[in-house]
Amino acid sequence: MSDQVQCPNCGGYKIKTVEVKNIFAERAISLDERKQRAIAFLKMLPASIVLAVISFFSIKTFDSIMSAYFCSSSIIVVALFLILASMYTKTERVRTGQIYNYYCYLCGYKWSWETGTPLPKVDVRPDLILAGEQRLKEEREQDAAAHEAAENALRRGGLR
Residues at the interface with Zn ion (CB under 5 A): 7, 9-10, 12, 104, 106-107, 109
> Which of 10, 38 has the CB closer to Zn ion?
10
CA dist., res. 45 & res. 83, Å (int):
9
Q: Which H or E element spans position 101?
A: strand 91-104
Give 10 or 75: the residue with its C-beta nearer to Zn ion: 10
From the list 149, 156, 31, the residue with the least C-alpha distance to 88 is: 31
* Least distance (Å) between residue 15 CB and Zn ion: 8
User: What residues have CB less than 8 Å from 37, skipping those under 6 apart?
Assistant: 86, 87, 89
User: Of the two residues 12 and 52, which places its CB atom closer to Zn ion in the complex?
Assistant: 12
